Structure formats: structure tokens, C-alpha cells
Amino acid sequence: MNCPYTDVCGGCPYRSEDIAQYREMKCARLSQTLERLQDKNYHLNAPIFIEDGKRRRAALTFRKQGQKVVFGFNGRESGKVADIANCAALGTKLNRCLPHIKDMLQELCKVTQQSKRGKKIVFSELLRGDVPICEADNGVDVVLEYDRTPNLEERMIISEYANRCDDIIRIAHRGSAFDTTSETIVQKVAPFVTMGNFRVMIPAGTFLQASKQSESAMGAMVTRYLHEVKGEVADLFCGVGTFSYYLTSDMPNRKICAVDASNSLLDGFRESANACQITNLEIKKQNLFKYPLDENELARFEGLVFDPPRAGAKEQCNIIAKSRKKPRIIAAVSCNPTTFVNDANRLWEGGYELKEITMVDQFVYSDHCEIVALFSLR
């Protein structure tokens, strides 16, 4: 799909290319990276290409320039913001919300806050910030990230613009992306997404797979790989619990142990899992980079899925490879083919056979892709 912002926006560097050539290039790059695999006997499945315009989440930014607000994505040139009216990568609901959000930011940036600093009266303006947006199943969730607490005037503006846009169902505020909590300013109804058989309430600014289609495809592969496992299953680097929801739906009589290091993600996960009345799920906080599951902990699991950050699961794969008792089946999900190869080679050295790999292209016209792979003990 053509985009008038291709030359200034840094989000989709290959958008100007023919779609067939782009997809061919994406597959060729992955194949080149996979040449470093020690196990060459795997099957490379047909790639799953997500359609353009299906993104359900994005992180936009805004800057006050003179009397106007620039709102969009980080530009190709460092420090600049590409001012956009719509985005070809985003879904229809998100695009409908963009002009309302920009108008709201324009009004918020007119508000001057007054505070005391010692004996002095200090006036502050809102000059910049970020706006993560997410399309839930029942509407759009918006988070305003800027480093001051909204006053009464700002809250009234936020409520007014939320009510003007039918698609927006919640607007929250937090100081920055590093804040683990946020304050809901206005909520018409609680946003939710469907994962597996469950309706999952999502906290403001939560991490989800970029599109519903890619999440469903990866969830289906993971459950297919682990479906025949009779014992317990571990979901490592579980985040908000995406694969745990799919697995508990598919395997109601087997226990799933979900592990992650993020308090904020796990708190939301626990609350939602309790609301869904999931009885075969254990949620555990553990930093798997510093303290990966040891041999005794691994011995209880017949199956395992891991979905680490871009750094990969090196520490955990080293422990798995060295262990005498280890999971029979591993479903590996990765957002970085390079670190995936490193992890796969360590598992091969530890006695695993790489059965198959599937590429999921959910970040259309970009360098990024997801990989889902199946390993079994030789």
C-alpha cells in the first residue's frame, strides 16, 4: 500500500518496494541467517505474511513546535517527528482515532501548570511526550506519556475528547514508558482481547503481539507442538501470558507454569487469569537471564515454550543443554533470527533435533520478523 509519509517516516523502510520483491528479500535474509544452524535437517515451512494495515498497536510521539503540535512517528532524520494524519500499517479503528488524539494534544499543550519551587512560582508547559495506542477487541486504548501529572483542566480536556470519539474506550496517563503503573483518566468500558478461549482484560500500555492475526498464528503453532505432551508445560518469558492462555485452553487437564521477571506484566496476568477462573495455571516471578530454571526445576516439565526478548535465551538454553532431565518438546518463539540461531545451536548440542521453522512477518515492510520453531529430544 502506498504511503505519503514514506520519505519522512522511519517506520516502514521498504514500503516503496514491490510487495513480491519485499517478501522475497525477507525470506532470503532469513535463509542467510539460518545457514549458521548446525542442525541442517529441519523443514522450513511456508512463511506466514500478515496483510498490511493489520497492526493493532503502535507508539507515537508528539512535540510542540510554536503554536502547533506535531504528532506521528519518529522520522528518518534523528530528532524529527513525521507528522501524519493516518498510517498505512495501522488498522482502521486506530487510524480513525489519530485526528482526535492530535486535537486533544493540541489543547493539552495550551495548558500552563503553576507550581511552587521554594518561594518562586513556576509555570510549566507541556512540550513533548509519547502516545502508545492499542486496538483491543472492543475499542481503542490510549496512554498519554508525559512527565507531569494532569491537572483538572487537562483531565476535562481528556474526558471531552474521549467522549467525542466512539472508538476510544480508555485514556490513561503515566510519566514515562518505564513507569510500571498508570492512572486511568477516563474509561467507558474495560478493554479486552481474546486469547485462546479467554476474554483477557488488558492493563493500559500492555505489550501484545503487533497484530491479532500473527498472535493467532503463533498461538496455534505452539499449541499444536505441545498438544501431545502428557506432563506439565513451562511458559518462559511469558509476558502478559499470551501462550499460557492458548495452552490452558487447549490443555485444561495439564498444568502450565508461566515465568517472567516483570512485576507489572505478571500482576496484570494474575488478575486476568483469576478473573477467567483458570485453575491449571501457576504464575511465577523469576529473572531468567540471571536465574534460569535449573536442572531440578526443569525435570518437572515434559514440554516448554519460550519467547525471550531480542537478546535471546542463552542462559536458559545452556542449562537445558547440560541437564540430564529435560523437556521432551520445546516450542521456541523468537523476534531475532540471529539470537535464535545461537539458542538453537546450543539446544542441538544438548541433544535436541530441530524439526521445523516458520517465519511470521507481522512487521510489514520492515527488517523485523518472528520465528516459531519445534525442537524434540533426539
For residue 301, give the nearest of 268, 262, 259 by alpha carbon.
Answer: 259
Residue 265: the pLDDT is: 87
Buried b (16+ CB within 10 A) or exposed e, 296-318: ebbeebbbbbbbbeeebbebbbb
For residue 332, give the nearest of 222, 234, 230 by alpha carbon.
Answer: 222
Q: Are 1 and 88 in contact (CB under 8 A)?
A: yes
Contacts (Cβ under 8 Å, ≥6 apart) of 167 = 93, 96, 97, 139, 140
C-alpha cell at 23: 517478501
C-alpha cell at 375: 525442537
Contacts (Cβ under 8 Å, ≥6 apart) of 200 = 192, 193, 194, 240, 241, 245, 272, 276
- pTM given for the model: 0.92
Could you list the pLDDT tens digit for every one of the 378 residues in the chain? 678 888 888 788 899 899 999 999 999 999 999 999 999 999 999 999 999 999 999 999 999 999 999 999 988 777 789 999 999 999 999 999 999 999 999 999 999 987 767 777 777 889 999 999 999 999 999 999 999 999 999 999 999 999 999 999 999 999 998 887 899 999 999 999 999 999 999 989 888 999 999 999 999 999 999 999 999 999 999 999 999 999 999 999 999 999 999 888 898 899 999 999 999 999 999 999 999 999 999 999 999 999 999 999 999 999 999 999 999 999 999 999 999 999 999 999 999 999 999 999 999 999 999 999 999 998
C-alpha cell at 271: 488478575
Q: Which amino acid type is present at position 19?
A: I
Count the neighbouring beta carbons within 10 Å of the beta carbon of residue 45.
14
* Burial class of residue 170 (count of CB atoms within 10 Å of its CB; 0-12, 13-18, 19+): buried
Cα angle for residues 289, 295, 301 (degrees, 5° grid): 95
Q: Which helix (H) or strand (E) holds 281?
A: strand 281-285
List, in order of start, the domains of the chain with CATH numbers.
Answer: 19-52+208-377 (3.40.50.150), 57-189 (2.40.50.1070)
- 8-state DSSP, 251: -
Q: Which amino acid type is present at position 179?
A: D
Q: Helices in the chain by DSSP H: which ranges? A: 19-34, 92-108, 152-164, 212-226, 242-250, 263-275, 295-298, 314-322, 337-349
